[in-house]
Every structure is written in C-alpha cells, then in structure tokens.
Amino acid sequence: MSAESGLIISFCFILRWCFSEMKYIKRFISEIPWNYSWYYSAMSLIERQSEGRQSEEQVRYLQANSRELNSTFGYPNNTIKTSRYSVFNFLPLNLFEQFQRLANAYFLILLFLQLIPQISSLAWYTTVIPLMVVLSITAVKDAIDDMKRHQNDNQVNNRCVLVVMNGRIKEDKWMNIQVGDIIKLKNNQSVTADMLLLSSSEPCGLTYIETAELDGETNLKVKQAISVTSDLEDNLGLLSAFDGKVRCESPNNKLDKFTGILNYKGKNYILDHDKLLLRGCIIRNTDWCYGLVIYTGPDTKLMQNCGKSTFKRTHMDHLLNVLVLWIFLFLGSMCFILAIGHGIWENKRGYYFQDFLPWKEYVSSSVVSAVLIFWSYFIILNTMVPISLYVSVEIIRLGNSYYINWDRKMFCAPKNTPAQARTTTLNEELGQVKYVFSDKTGTLTQNIMIFNKCSINGIFYGGVYDKHGQRVDVSEETEKVDFSYNKLADPKFSFYDKTLVEAVKKGDRWVHLFFLSLSLCHTVMSEEKVEGKLMYQAQSPDEGALVTAARNFGFVFRSRTSETIVVVEMGETKVYQLLAILDFNNVRKRMSVIVRTPEDRVMLFCKGADTVLCRRLHPSCTSLRDVTMEHLDDFAVEGLRTLMVAYRELDNAFYQAWSKKHSEACLSLENREDKMSDVYEEIEKDLMLLGATAIEDKLQDGVPETITTLNKAKIKMWVLTGDKQETAVNIAYACNIFEDEMDGMFIVEGKNDETVRQELRSARVKMKPESLLESDPVNIYLTTKPHMPFRVPEEVPNGNYGLIINGYSLDVNETWSLRFPELYDPGQHNLYFNKKEFVKCLVRGIYSSFVLFFIPMRTVHNSVRSDGKEISDYQSFSLIVQTALLCVVTTQIALDTTYWTVISHIFTWGSLGFYFCILIFLYSDGLCLTFPNVFQFLGVARNTLNLPQMWLIIILSVVLCILPVIGYQFLKPLFWPVNVDKIMDRIHLCTRPPLPPPTRTKLKHTSARRSAYAFSHKQGFGALITSGKTMKDRVFKKNSFPFKK
C-alpha cells in the first residue's frame, strides 16, 4: 500500500462469543421433565425477552399433525415473495416511482398546462408521446427485472418435499407446507421451513447442516434432537401419531436465538436454537431427518432478515434530479424575464396596436398578458429539460446488464454459473465504488484446510527441495508422497516431503507420539458405513485437517464411544480409554484430552495457541521451544494457521485426585465455568513440547492479486470476520490487505465508546500529526458542536498503516485496466459527471447555440436560390439549424469514440441516415397532399438540401463547434494533467502487453501473527461425546465393522 493510493483499512471485526453456564449444563437439562409452574414461568420469561416479535403475535402455539387447530391461528403458508409488483399494482406503483424523477414530474405538469387553451402554444400530444416513450421503456425494464424475481419465487415455491400424513409419506410442494406439518428431508436437500428437529439417521438424533446461505460458513454445524423425539426414528406410525404441543417465541430475525417448550405426553422439554433447523440450511452427511414445522414463509428467520424491498436510486439519479432542478430555476428565470419584457412591450406598444393585433377577450391588461405568456414560454422551452437523457441512461443500463451476463471472463466454469446482473438500476454504481465490505469465510477463503507443514522435536517437515538442495515451490509436477502402504489413508490428502514418511516408517518415537496426539486430541466424530471408508465430522475444518493428516501418516482415528477411542497405529488397532475432554473455548485457546493407554499409562495430550502453551511448558523444553518458535515464525510468514502440540504423562494417584475435583466442578451450579477453568489449570502445566502444525486456509483463486488491484484503485477494503485477532492479521497479510512495508499497525480493543474514541484519536494523531492543531476541522467539530451532524473529510495519512478493530468509463481494454487500476479513480470521484462538468456543458451549449443560430442566419440573410427566390423563410431556416445541430452532435460522438465496432458504426452513422430518411418522408409530396392541414410545407426539404449554402453552413458549424473542444482536449493534459492523463500517456507509449507484477517478498514477523488455528477453532463435540449420547447399540450394529489387528 502507498500513500498515493490512500489509507487501506482492514476492518477485522472480532466477535467474542461468551459461553454462559447453560452451555455446560445443557446436556443435563435438555431432557429433564419440568412441572407446569416452571412451564409458565419460563414462558413468561420468553414473553418478556423476545425482541423483534410481531406486534400481533406475542407467543406462537402449535400442535404437531393438526392442521385444523393450527389454521385457527392464521399462520401464513410457506409461500415466499421477493418480487415488488403484481399484475394489479404494477402500473400505479411503477408510475409513482417514476414520477419521483423531477423531469418526469415536470412533463406531467407540462401536459396539464397544455390542456389550458389560453396558454397552450403546442399540441398536447407533443408532450404525451415522448413522456409515454420514457415511461414505457423504464416500465418494461422494471417489469423484466421483477419477472425474474417472480420466476425465482415460483421455482422455490414449487420445489417438492416429503410430508408425513396419516402414516404415509406424501410428496407436496414447498408453498403448501403449513405450521405443524412433519416433513422428511434427505441428504443434500435444502431445509423447507424453520422446523424443530425430531429424529435423524445419525446417532442420538444428530443432523449435520451447512449454513452458507445464512452466514457464509461452509464448515458443517451439528443440530441434535431431544431423546423423546429421536426415539421416533423413521417410524411413520409413531411420527403420524406424534401430537406434541409447542409454545415458542413469535417470529423474529435472530438467527442464533430460539426459545420454546415442547409438551409431549404430559411432560415439558426446553427447546433452544440447537434443535431448530432454519430455512436456507442444507442437510449434509445425514441420510434423512424429520422435523416439525415451526415457522413458514415470511415468518422464517431467513425471510425476516430480508426486509422489505425499497425503490433504489443511484448517485446519478440523485445528481440528475439536482441538475434538473437547476434547469427548472434557469428555465423559470428565462420565462420570467421574457414575460416581463412582453408585459413592458404590451403596456407601451401593444396596447396602442390592438387595431392590428387585438388582444384576446380573456386578456384585460398587459399584466394578465404577461402572466399568460409566462406559462406559454414555460411550455415552448420544454426542450431545455433533458427527458431524452433519462431514456439514454435506461437503455445504457439495460445494455450493460446484458454485457455483464454475457461476460465470459466472469463465468465460473467449475459451477457452470455465469455472472448475473439481478438489477438493471444500479449498474453504473460499479464504477463509483469506494469501499468494499467483504466476509472472510467463503469469500476470501475457500474454507478448505490443508495440512501443509509441521515441526516435530525441532525438525522442520513439509519443505520441497530440488536435487541441488534448493527450496522450490509446490507445482502440479511436484511428486506427491506415496501413502499406498496405508490402506486406510485418505486418497484426497496430498503431502510432498518424503522425509516425514521415512521418519514414520523408521519408528521415530517423537514423530509417532506427535501423530498419536493428533489422532486422540480432538472432538471429531467418525462414520464408517463401508468398511475402510472413513468419514469424519468435525465442528471445525481445522480439526478435520489434523485428524486426516494423522490418518494418512499411519495413526488412524477409526471410532469412538463416550468412554473409548479406537486408533489404528501403523496397522495395529489399539483402544484408548477416554478419561476426560478439556474442550476448547475462546478464553482457554487450547484443548486437551486425558486417556489411559493400552499399557495402562495416563497421558494428557494438548494442542493450542503458542502464546498459551509456551507458558505451560516444562522448563526442560526451553531450547526445543526456541527452535519451534523459529519454525512458527516461518509458518506465520507464509500466512499458515499454526498451533503447538504437547503432552504430559500423569501419575495415577495425581489423576485420581484431580478427577474428583473435576467431577465436583462439573456438577457445580454456581461459578461453574470459573471452577472448571481452575481445575483445568492444575493439570495443563509442565507439558512436554512435541512440535507444531501449520495448516493452510486456502484462499480463493486470485484474491491477493485482486485486493492489490483494488488498493491501487483507491478502493478501501474492509473485512468482516468472526475470527480472533491473530487469525484476522494472518488473513490480512495473506490477502495483501496488510503489507510488510507498512509503517505501523493499530489495534482497537476498547469495550466502550469513550475508550474506542481515544484509541482511534491516538491512531489518527500518529498517522497525521497535524491533526493536533486547533485548526483541524475534526477537532473544531468535537470541541464546538458535538451534537450537530458532521461529515468527516477523507484524509490521506503520512505513511502506510493498517487498522484492526477487535469502472468502466475509460476506453482501454481489460489488460490495461488491471495493470493500471488508477484508471478507476475518476469514477469514484465522479470526475466525468458532476455539477462542474454540468456547468461546462452548459457553457458549451450556449456557445454552440450562438454558432448554430448566427452562422445560418448570416449565411442565408438576403440570399436567393438560382431561380432568384429567397431562401430565408422560417421553415427553411429551422431545417438548416436542425440539420447542422445533428451533424455537430454526430461528429462529436465520432470523435469521442475510441473503439469502433459494427454496432457503434450502425448507431452513429445509422442515426444520422435515419434522420434524413424521416426528413424526406415528412416533407414528401404524398404526405403533404394527403394531410394538407398538418403538413403544410411542401418541397421545403428538397429545396433546402439542394442549396450549396446549406452544406457550407453545416461545414462551418461543425468546425466552429468542434474546434474549441479539440483544442481543450489537446491542451488539458499538457497544462492541467491529472493521474488518468499520465496513465493514458504511458499506455499509448507501450507497444507490448505489460509484464506481470513482481512477486512480493515476505519478511518475518513476531508471534502476533501466529496461532490462527486456536483462535478460529470453535467449541467441539466434547460435551456431547462425554455425555455418552453419541453412540447407541443399534447404531453400532448397523454401522460398525470388526477391526483388523
């Protein structure tokens, strides 16, 4: 980043998740039947705390499999509507929106004025026809946009889903689903409506979902049904007989909040968002699941977050309205001056000239005549209002939307998806973007974690070297490690350093212990429906990548129960007794497991952030820690997500004493979280360091290059991420949002307004020391008018800094546009369409008007044709001026066009030719003889076009109107150059395509950029695993296989 390209700010918004006590005791209370006193007190709490509920519905009541009862509450069906218009309201609503444009409103007023005979000087159809053309073109465009929305709504509403009815499965459409229905979803199906999970094909009613359409996260999340309904399984008889009653909060837009109570067989069960499947989610890795529909259609949380569609207007629309208002004022001033002059003339001369020019019967004085003539001029001069400009803009917008849809370079081949302009209203805004707000997951990154490198016992693994011992980058030609010796290896896993495999095969003790730690210290759940084909379900993709790496190197996590973990170590199956899981959370930044090995040794394995684990290492690990930290620095420079791995062998007596404290802390109802944290601290110390891992969170293709280009174009990039600070910094460096050459980095960690304000002021002072001056506008505002609205001016810092908070208008091809993103700058600042440019056009228009009037007038004055007849009649004069004007405009368009295509030739020269054809037709003999009262100027066009003076006038007018423009365009880059002019000169001097930008060399940084894994990782399935509910005998019988030893 450079000072020239402005301050590029990365906004890494840190979401600090607070885990309440209910998180830890959830597994104990979710199935406790509560009495009715708790039922009513809980529901009163719901009524008090449920925010955003609909005013007409305080609490929702429903009963499963009872459409008749549920219909009495008037709940909507599952139909959704994102379209804005219908057949009945399209015309009035669209016209209302269009008449918000001042030009359209002006011509509507003008139409009414023309209906008044006393002031009307033009026929009413001269206004109606162009106005109808403008309104019709815009209406057709808006109708096409809305038809696409209707088509999308119909496609969604007519999807099919399976519904349980009367002991049978019936296929029905989404739009027919009602509250209280029980529906069946299969793997990879979208969730039809917000529904309470009843049962699934997975152990203990677990269901895995993908929420990418809701929050952009592609990693799987888990939902779990309560046991009383999970026992229903896929028994249609039991499901049809299920008559549970649900009382829950009213519809709202909170995706992570849901409270309710299920009453079934006289017992009540607490419901929360972990048991709710939301519309927009996709079922993954789950054969089937059943759910009770709670919210449908517009009541679903997805639709509650959509909001109402509003009429959007672009910056150009707003500016056009302002300019049209200026034109109105100018027009009114002209009409007022002309009316005053008319009144003076009528008072001094016209009053005494009535014998020859009598006043109309409704004109009683010169003042009345002046008032009437004011409105007459208002009608005559209507051509000053550029209604045709709106037509041009609408056509350009429509054409640009099709260009976007047809752009082959915006086509996504892997998904067979083209770019799609979903609206034709906002296209030009793409050339005026100043800020880009981006999500991280699924936008900047693919959310695909790959085990890339590691450090074990001070030895670096993962590098690739050539035959000369030089480090080389991995390419498609690089030979992969052969894992054929491991029949349970994942064929998708790739690794390139053969030395690590050799160390595993040689039986290196530390390498074996390292991968054993990765295969045990996690909360991943394994599924093996086909023998030898393992599928891992991880709450975090990081954990999945680590367990998969251990699997390929010979330490295969195969299955688990609430008390055991089965690992296949180098072909030998071993069963480890699971004693405790010390799960991850945002404060601990680590997780541990305690197991008893087959050799009856009690071992603790721990992984987490180096900033946390370093303080808990045994003093004997000092030298190994220093070497590993150097490796972590190298990993961090490459933008990899890192964590440390350590272990501790526990004395049996010590463990028994600790286990007793752990059990007491788990059962505590007061300060439970603090007590458990203290217990964890007692055992997670004096750890022996094993090494560190480095995981690559793969970026989307071209992300760093794209952001570099955006930076050069002075587009500020803000990234919103739920990760912790270290992860945010890592991603910022990897994406080129942050650069090694920055002068500094500011971290805002305040938790209240005043602290944040002070931190931002300190950062601003460092970036711009002159901001301390009393003359600084921001300081003046803060000290004098703190409550008045104030727009903070954009500032350029004295250096390059990063901040962490805990166009297409130029005629160059895409190659040069990407090479010189600064060409985008004029669009951001509206350099080509603003009030200043409008004034320039106004001055130029006045000058052209003088030329187009006086040149023809002086040329034809006292001139005669070859037969001696005069040619200076009004009709011939107006025809000459009009033809000269069109020739001038066409020439200007031709000079402004850089790239000529067949289409541009057709429209440029074709429009001029079309004008002459219309001209000849309107003045033709047949038309004049057929309608003599309307077309009264027979032969004018033929006679005028044959005059040599006509063509002389056209040549003189074109030269005099175009010459100043050419001179200005030539002199401006020489005497008043801007950045774009300089870049265009560089482009014109280049004869060869530009070389690709040089690869940026990276420098080492401190540990502030490490430990991304530990911060981005989420709380796993620890509580679920230790609760003993993840496995059932019936599941083992169906899905397990005998282990080979």
Q: What does each C-alpha distance from 218 to 149, 696, 774 come to in angstroms? A: 26, 16, 50
Beta bridge mates, 214: none
How would DSSP label each residue in 647-690? EEEE-HHHHHHHHHHHHHHHH-SSSHHHHHHHHHHHHS-SBEEE
How would DSSP label each residue in 776-807? -HHHHHHHH-TTS---PPP---SS-EEEEE--
Contact 1007, 610 (CB under 8 A): yes
Burial tier of 935 (Cβ tally within 10 Å: 0-12, 13-18, 19+): middle
SS3 561: coil
SS3 1029: coil
**Is residue 146 flagged as an active site residue?**
no
Nearest to 294 by CA among 355, 252, 237: 252
Burial tier of 996 (Cβ tally within 10 Å: 0-12, 13-18, 19+): exposed
Q: How many CB atoms lie within 10 A of CB 765?
A: 12
From 234, 317, 439, 686, active-site residue: 439
Beta bridge mates, 61: 247
Q: Which residues of 692-702 are buried (b: 16+ CB within 10 A; e: fewer)?
A: bbbbbbebeee
Contact 271, 259 (CB under 8 A): yes
Alpha carbons 417 and 872: distance in angstroms, whole number:
63
Alpha helices in 668-750 (DSSP H): 672-683, 703-712, 725-734
Q: Where are the beta strands (DSSP E) in 561-617?
A: 564-569, 572-582, 590-596, 602-608
Residue 556, both tokens: 């295969």
Nearest to 542 by CA among 456, 613, 634, 640: 640
* Residue 297: DSSP 8-state: G
* C-alpha angle 160-165-171 in degrees, rounded to nearest 5: 20
Q: Which residues of 61-82 are buried (b: 16+ CB within 10 A; e: fewer)?
A: ebbbbeeeebeeeebbbbbbee
Alpha carbons 947 and 859: distance in angstroms, whole number:
12
Secondary structure of 387-435 in the HEC alphabet?
Answer: HHHHHHHHHHHHHHHHHHHHCHHHCECCCCECCCCCCCCCHHHHHCCCE
Alpha carbons 614 and 1007: distance in angstroms, whole number:
12
- Greatest Cα-to-Cα distance within the chain, rounded to the nearest angstrom: 129
442: left (phi over 0), alpha (psi -120 to 50) or beta: left
Which active-site residues does the annotation give?
439
